Amino acid sequence: MPDALGWHCKFAVVAPSTNTVVQPEFDKMRPPGVTNHFDRIAVSNM
In a domain, 18, yes or no: yes
Query: Distance between the two ends of the chain, CA-based, in angstroms?
Result: 44
Q: How many domains does the chain have?
A: 1
Q: Compute the distance between CA of residue 11 and CA of residue 43 in angstroms, rounded to an integer.
A: 23
In a domain, 22, yes or no: yes
Residue 44's pLDDT band (cuts 50, 70, 90):
confident
Q: What is the pLDDT of residues 3-43, one digit of tens each?
A: 888 888 898 999 998 888 988 998 999 999 999 999 999 88
In a domain, 46, yes or no: no
* Residue 17 structural domain: 9-41
Confidence (pTM): 0.67
In a domain, 3, yes or no: no
In a domain, 4, yes or no: no
In a domain, 13, yes or no: yes
